[in-house]
Amino acid sequence: MEVRLDYLTNPQESITARWDRLPLPVIATCRGKERGGRFEGSVEDELRILQHAADNGAKFVDIDYRFSKPIDGADVIASFHDFEATPADLPALMGRICESPGQIAKLATAVNTWGDNRRLLELLSTRWPKPVIVIGMGDLAQVIRVIGPSRGSYLTYAGLTPNAAAPGQLSLHDMNGVYRLRRLKPSTKLIGIIGNPLGHSLSPVIHNKAFAAEGLDFVFVKFPTADVKEFFENARALGIEGLSVTIPHKSAVIPFLDHLTPEAAEIGAVNTVFWRHGQWVGDNTDVVGVRAALASAGFDPEGKVVVILGTGGASKAAVTAVKNAKRVTVLSRRDVPEAAKYPCDLLINATPIGMFPMVDAAPFQGAIPAEVVLDMV
Question: Which positions are catalytic?
Answer: 250
CB burial class (10 A; 0-12, 13-18, 19+) of residue 70? exposed
| C-alpha closest to that of 192 among 183, 200, 201, 184 | 201
Q: How far apart are CA 209 and CA 38, in angstroms?
A: 39
E strands in 51-131: 60-64, 75-82, 104-110
Is there a contact between 119 and 147 (Cβ–Cβ < 8 Å)? no
Neighbouring residues of 300: CB distance < 8 A, sequence distance ≥ 6: 294
- C-alpha distances in angstroms, 312 versus 18, 248, 327? 59, 8, 19
Please report how many Cα atoms fall inside a 13 Å half-sphere around the Cα of residue 97, on the Cβ side: 27
